[in-house]
Structure 1
């Protein structure tokens, strides 16, 4: 208790509070601009943190990350261009609500879900960090293989109309994920002699291209009248939000739990948590047919999962020095610079600094309410800007954001090519979301499968020998075969119904 009070005193220092405020505004800006992700926001803050003491340095990263993850929802809902990868799972759903004149509701629900999910993740991080990290360390390549399969399976639920087209889209994403050096044999694949392609296709340029550039191309080539978005009255952003959250309170809890658990798995992060939460929401919804048409239920799940995942990713990072995602990989570097070696001993040697991180998580999520409100009120002006003015500006930000990742024009080329691919796909009715999912999870799937096969000497039964792997495997296989079983049951029941 004394340590927690000491940590509260460290965080509520005027200098630290000022750092949190400015970092929050910076994170909101970075997340709201397509191409400038939460990871980029963190990377840009690192040089600044070198001149700060440990508490404000860590507080700035925690706050900027939390704000950027939420702010990614803003261009996703208003322009169908996700600001961060974590927002990609439900961009189509949010944009569909905007087109129905519910932009205010979808952004209000997204903000409140993010705050509640973030507070839940912070609570779990504070009280159960060692236990969760211990559980995550039990995951070997076998468990990661089934986790990747489970994530890819959700593509079938994300795809709206034609499941076959969803599977084809998924395969395109997996194909793109195979570009580069084979992780097992070390042999280059599909590189066509290009040295740049040996490192694989970077996810950020791919996502910007497949969402943002494709949207720009669609806007330029469309001969139809632009869709008139109903503005409604942008007064109180929180109007109607309470009723939605009360109705879907179980979804809120479920999304927060999934986000925290998936976030605690090294390498998973908020991106995968959002995809899984959205897919689970659709699977267990009483109104699954409404998903994709502008239904708020999936946004409650995935919005809560996004920010809950942030707390989860810090669990393995702080307790065992294993990054939960790309952001905490950067954070571990900052911890070492500040003389805080992540691991179990850090709780004994510098507990007040670790607990100050926990306090900052709570504070950052509470700060998100006023900062998010201001961001929403400002961002709705995007809808009033003519598309022929807005699209070139967005394209410029996309090019700058993509170039800034590795300071190379090659990334911009990847963005343009995949933007053209996505445009052709969508024009022919193929959804983009499964392709993005395949690209995200393809590397994890291949690495874990090949590593597991080497360990098991080619024995496929080894994938079911470990308890956690067996549970995940059985659940995944049951989901795979459930459509077939349901179809057979319907066929069996139909003759009796006809009598």
Structure 2
């Protein structure tokens, strides 16, 4: 594995085209990540169509560079103007912006960059070590096990979505219905096409994601398109960098955040938001001066940023080994792989080991370029925040339209993108999570195909699942995840009643 990793890395570095794409992806990722309102998911969604004509290895390299760089880019606006560029940078602003107000903006940016790089390397190491082992186990799975995995993935994704679990499940169910549009894979019967030629091939993942995560965000930000230009102290970004000894003194915070982010990210649907919150809480617990947190504690920047970046490697584990997206961002990455004829899952390791090595090498190169370019552009990055928001929104909307059309050169995909852009905006107005809709489209065909195949093998009997301990265990966990939110109010009420009895 190490030999193939080094070979892929050297091949990428030796290719002018690959290196140029990596640098371009890193620059775009940092810039888009730094812009408030442009999340990592949105950045990938609007840039995904640019990768369609590339070699699969170069396409994933470009997108990984955008992904990794945007994670760091989100901390720039969080530190300088107290507006997180990405959801994972929400915790960073708590101590990063107080540091900037104290004239230590450059110090905070450097700590965020170094911690992000260290966390990314540890997340990559976990991915390289665990993914092949999990893939070898998953290769022994049959239809009942994959059915249970699909159900478990949908429940977890709904469970971890903002708001109530029931709402997440309902949105996921709509995604399942979207996955049934087109011709039936087993009977070749047309379903839910409404006699429309554009829907006969089904709803493509990419236009759905572009509309749901790209155009919908444009619609959400239209009301704030004339906001004032953010103000920040440019002088605070021109100060000398902290020395290496000072940075190395934060190694414990970096390691704690990195391992928390990597392991939490590996849980489907947990994602970076939960990882950074846990990392921040742990830093407060281990700190000798917890009262400094929220007022400019360096550990409050280092720990969460390390967790934010290391969660990238964690989220790739379920996507690559089981074909289950770890979060909304990996759902967009899955769209790129599917466009290039690569199906994420255990067979990816058996059929395309060279591509897997290229993915690892691309991930490492993305981390390296983010570190180098981030340091070189440190004093100029704040000017990115002065881009007028109305200009940015117009450019993103145009990219959404062009990107949707570029998939199959079909206006039907543009209409699908526009439709799901409106759906995403309505979900926002109703305070419903949008991510389960995309997950339902991904996991729906996996669930339907394996469920029907399992019932065929069992001659119509559901007992086929009883013969699989793994499937029954996953079904049990799924049921538990659904029931727990319903029982939580009862437990709280019961606890309050017990307290009242004891008081009397």
TM-score (norm 1): 0.67
Which blocks of at least 5 consecutive residues in structure 1 are unaligned? 50-57, 81-89, 263-272, 288-294, 318-323, 334-341
Which digits, 9 at most, give the CA deviation of each residue in 1:391-424, with x for residues without a partner?
Answer: 1111111112221122222211111111112222
| Counterpart in the other structure of 1:143 | 145
> How do residues 202-351 of structure 1 correspond to structure 2 at under 5 angstroms?
202-220=204-222, 222=223, 226=227, 231=232, 235=237, 247=253, 249=255, 252-257=258-263, 275-278=269-272, 281=275, 303-308=309-314
| Contact 2:257/2:279, CA 8 A, preserved across alignment | no
1-structure distance, mates of 2:126, 2:256: 18
Query: Structure 1 pair 401/253, CA: closer, same or farther in 2 (3 Å)?
Result: same
| Counterpart in the other structure of 1:442 | 444
SS state at 1:478 partner: helix
- The answer to whether residue 425 in structure 2 is matched with residue 416 in structure 1 is no
| Contact 1:121/1:310, CA 8 A, preserved across alignment | no
2-structure distance, mates of 1:41, 1:115: 29
| Counterpart in the other structure of 2:492 | 490
1:395 to 388, 394, 397: 397
2-structure distance, mates of 1:161, 1:10: 43
Query: Structure 1 pair 227/304, CA: closer, same or farther in 2 (3 Å)?
Result: farther
1:163 CA displacement: 4.3
1-structure distance, mates of 2:261, 2:217: 29
| Contact 2:113/2:371, CA 8 A, preserved across alignment | no
1:197 to 196, 199, 222: 199
2-structure distance, mates of 1:346, 1:181: 28
Q: How many residue pairs were aligned?
A: 439
2:175 to 168, 173, 176: 173
| Counterpart in the other structure of 1:70 | 68
2-structure distance, mates of 1:416, 1:354: 34
| Contact 1:165/1:429, CA 8 A, preserved across alignment | no
1-structure distance, mates of 2:358, 2:486: 52
- The answer to whether residue 24 in structure 2 is matched with residue 26 in structure 1 is yes
> How do residues 102-113 of structure 1 correspond to structure 2 at under 5 angstroms?
112-113=115-116
Single out whichever of 478-487 and 128-137 deviates more from structure 2.
128-137
SS state at 2:53 partner: helix
1:111 CA displacement: 8.3
1:386 CA displacement: 2.0
2-structure distance, mates of 1:413, 1:132: 39
Single out whichever of 301-310 and 29-38 deviates more from structure 2.
29-38
Query: Structure 1 pair 68/461, CA: closer, same or farther in 2 (3 Å)?
Result: farther
| Counterpart in the other structure of 2:290 | none
> How do residues 347-426 of structure 1 correspond to structure 2 at under 5 angstroms?
362-371=364-373, 381-426=383-428
| Contact 2:75/2:93, CA 8 A, preserved across alignment | yes
Query: Structure 1 pair 132/159, CA: closer, same or farther in 2 (3 Å)?
Result: closer
SS state at 2:162 partner: coil
| Counterpart in the other structure of 1:480 | 482
2-structure distance, mates of 1:44, 1:479: 41
| Counterpart in the other structure of 2:124 | 121
| Counterpart in the other structure of 1:430 | 432
| Contact 1:181/1:188, CA 8 A, preserved across alignment | yes
Query: Structure 1 pair 207/346, CA: closer, same or farther in 2 (3 Å)?
Result: closer
SS state at 2:460 partner: coil
Query: Structure 1 pair 300/61, CA: closer, same or farther in 2 (3 Å)?
Result: same
1:480 CA displacement: 1.9
Query: Structure 1 pair 478/429, CA: closer, same or farther in 2 (3 Å)?
Result: closer
Query: Structure 1 pair 235/12, CA: closer, same or farther in 2 (3 Å)?
Result: same
Which digits, 9 at most, give the CA deviation of each residue in 1:182-231, with x for residues without a partner?
Answer: 333322221111122122211221122123222323344x3897487565
| Contact 1:114/1:308, CA 8 A, preserved across alignment | no
2-structure distance, mates of 1:177, 1:346: 26
> How do residues 8-47 of structure 1 correspond to structure 2 at under 5 angstroms?
16=14, 21-28=19-26, 32=32, 34=43, 40=49, 42-46=51-55
Task: Give the superposed CA RMSD.
Answer: 5.1
TM-score (norm 2): 0.67
Query: Structure 1 pair 378/181, CA: closer, same or farther in 2 (3 Å)?
Result: farther
2-structure distance, mates of 1:242, 1:228: 36
SS state at 2:237 partner: coil
1-structure distance, mates of 2:499, 2:116: 44
2-structure distance, mates of 1:396, 1:29: 20
| Contact 1:141/1:452, CA 8 A, preserved across alignment | yes
SS state at 1:199 partner: coil
Query: Structure 1 pair 129/434, CA: closer, same or farther in 2 (3 Å)?
Result: closer
Which digits, 9 at most, give the CA deviation of each residue in 1:301-353, with x for residues without a partner?
Answer: 56423345558877899xxxxxx9566678888xxxxxxxx987999xxx9x9
2-structure distance, mates of 1:327, 1:223: 31
Query: Structure 1 pair 410/456, CA: closer, same or farther in 2 (3 Å)?
Result: same
Query: Structure 1 pair 163/327, CA: closer, same or farther in 2 (3 Å)?
Result: closer
1-structure distance, mates of 2:175, 2:127: 33
